[in-house]
Chain A
Amino acid sequence: MTATAAFAHPVYPYRRPPELDGTARHCGVVVIGAGPVGLTTAIDLAQRGIPVLVLDDDDTVSVGSRAICYAKRTLEILDRLGCGEAIVSKGVGWSIGKVYHGDTLAYQFDLLPEAGHRRPAFVNLQQYYLEACLVQRAQALAPAELRWRHRVIGVTQDADRALVRVATPDGEYDLSCDWLVVCDGARSPVRHLMQLDTEGQVFRDRFLIADIRMSSDFPTERRFWFDPPFHPNQSVLLHRQPDNVWRVDFQLGWDADPDEEKKPERILPRLHAMLGPDARFELEWASVYTFQCRRMQKFREGRVLFAGDAAHLVSPFGARGANSGVQDADNLAWKLDLVLRGVAPARLLDSYDAERVVAADDNIRNSTRSTDFITPKSAVSRLFRDAVLGLAREYPFARRLVNSGRLSVPTVLHESPLNTPDHDAFAGAMVPGTPAADAPVTGPKGAWLLDYLGGGFVLLIVGGEVGGAEAEALRSGNVPCRVVDVGGSAPDALADVAGLVAARYDATPGTCYLFRPDQHVCARWRTFSLARVRAAMAAACAIEQA
Chain B
Amino acid sequence: MTEPRKGSSVLNTDANMAVPDDFYEALLGMHRDLTDAQSALANARLILLLANHIGDAAVLGDAMAAARSGVPGVPMEADHA
Answer yes or no: are A and B bound together in one complex. yes
Give the interface of A toward B (CB within 8 A): 383-384, 386-388, 390-391, 395, 397-398, 401
Contact residue range for chain B? under 10
Q: Do A390 and B45 have beta carbons less than 8 Å apart?
A: yes
Q: Do B40 and A391 have beta carbons less than 8 Å apart?
A: no
- A sample of 17 inter-chain contacts (CB < 8 A) reads A383-B40, A383-B44, A384-B44, A384-B47, A384-B48, A386-B41, A386-B44, A387-B44, A387-B45, A387-B47, A387-B48, A388-B48, A390-B41, A391-B49, A395-B49, A397-B52, A401-B48
B45 (CB) vs chain A CBs: closest residue: A387
Top 4 closest A-B pairs, CB basis? Answer: A387-B44, A397-B52, A387-B45, A383-B44
How far, in Å, is A203 (CB) from chain B's closest CB?
A: 22
How far, in Å, is A386 (CB) from chain B's closest CB?
A: 7
How far, in Å, is A387 (CB) from chain B's closest CB?
A: 4
A387 (CB) vs chain B CBs: closest residue: B44
Q: Which of B40, B48, B49: most chain A Cβ within 10 A?
A: B48
Residues of B within 8 A of A395 (CB): 49, 52
B55 (CB) vs chain A CBs: closest residue: A397
CA distance in complex: A395, B49 (Å): 9
Residues of B within 8 A of A398 (CB): 48, 52
Residues of A within 8 A of B40 (CB): 383
CA distance in complex: A387, B43 (Å): 9
How far, in Å, is A381 (CB) from chain B's closest CB?
A: 10
**Secondary structure of the B side of the interface?**
helix
Residues of A within 8 A of B45 (CB): 387, 390-391
Contact residues, B29-73 vs A (CB, 8 A) = 40-41, 44-45, 47-49, 52
B53 (CB) vs chain A CBs: closest residue: A397
Residues of A within 8 A of B52 (CB): 395, 397-398
Residues of B within 8 A of A390 (CB): 41, 45
CA distance in complex: A428, B2 (Å): 34
How far, in Å, is B37 (CB) from chain A's closest CB?
A: 9
How far, in Å, is A373 (CB) from chain B's closest CB?
A: 13
How far, in Å, is B61 (CB) from chain A's closest CB?
A: 17
Counted as pairs of residues, one from A and one from B, with CB atoms less than 8 Å apart, the total is 25
Q: Do B49 and A383 have beta carbons less than 8 Å apart?
A: no
How far, in Å, is B55 (CB) from chain A's closest CB?
A: 9
Give the interface of B toward A (CB within 8 A): 40-41, 44-45, 47-49, 52
CA distance in complex: A180, B4 (Å): 51
Contact of B41 among A387, A397, A401 (CB under 8 A): A387
Q: Do A391 and B48 have beta carbons less than 8 Å apart?
A: yes
Residues of B within 8 A of A387 (CB): 41, 44-45, 47-48
A379 (CB) vs chain B CBs: closest residue: B40
How far, in Å, is B40 (CB) from chain A's closest CB?
A: 6
A390 (CB) vs chain B CBs: closest residue: B45
How far, in Å, is A365 (CB) from chain B's closest CB?
A: 15
Q: Which of A386, A387, A391, A398: most chain B Cβ within 10 A?
A: A387
Q: Do A383 and B48 have beta carbons less than 8 Å apart?
A: no
How far, in Å, is A463 (CB) from chain B's closest CB?
A: 36
How far, in Å, is A402 (CB) from chain B's closest CB?
A: 12
A-B contact sample (11 more), CB < 8 A, given A384-B44, A387-B47: A383-B40, A383-B44, A384-B48, A386-B41, A386-B44, A387-B41, A387-B44, A387-B45, A390-B45, A395-B49, A395-B52
CA distance in complex: A36, B53 (Å): 45
CA distance in complex: A390, B47 (Å): 13
A396 (CB) vs chain B CBs: closest residue: B52
Residues of B within 8 A of A401 (CB): 48
CA distance in complex: A390, B44 (Å): 11
A401 (CB) vs chain B CBs: closest residue: B48
CA distance in complex: A395, B48 (Å): 11
How far, in Å, is A377 (CB) from chain B's closest CB?
A: 16
Residues of B within 8 A of A383 (CB): 40-41, 44
Residues of B within 8 A of A388 (CB): 48
Residues of B within 8 A of A391 (CB): 45, 48-49
Residues of A within 8 A of B41 (CB): 383, 386-387, 390
CA distance in complex: A490, B52 (Å): 53
How far, in Å, is B45 (CB) from chain A's closest CB?
A: 5
CA distance in complex: A388, B44 (Å): 9
B42 (CB) vs chain A CBs: closest residue: A387
How far, in Å, is B20 (CB) from chain A's closest CB?
A: 26
How far, in Å, is A390 (CB) from chain B's closest CB?
A: 7
CA distance in complex: A397, B49 (Å): 9
How far, in Å, is A410 (CB) from chain B's closest CB?
A: 25
CA distance in complex: A386, B41 (Å): 8
CA distance in complex: A146, B63 (Å): 59
Residues of A within 8 A of B49 (CB): 391, 395
How far, in Å, is A329 (CB) from chain B's closest CB?
A: 35
CA distance in complex: A418, B49 (Å): 43
B49 (CB) vs chain A CBs: closest residue: A391
Residues of A within 8 A of B48 (CB): 384, 387-388, 391, 398, 401
CA distance in complex: A397, B44 (Å): 15
Residues of A within 8 A of B44 (CB): 383-384, 386-387
How far, in Å, is B41 (CB) from chain A's closest CB?
A: 6
How far, in Å, is B49 (CB) from chain A's closest CB?
A: 7
CA distance in complex: A354, B26 (Å): 53
CA distance in complex: A387, B39 (Å): 12
A384 (CB) vs chain B CBs: closest residue: B44
CA distance in complex: A443, B38 (Å): 63
CA distance in complex: A398, B47 (Å): 12
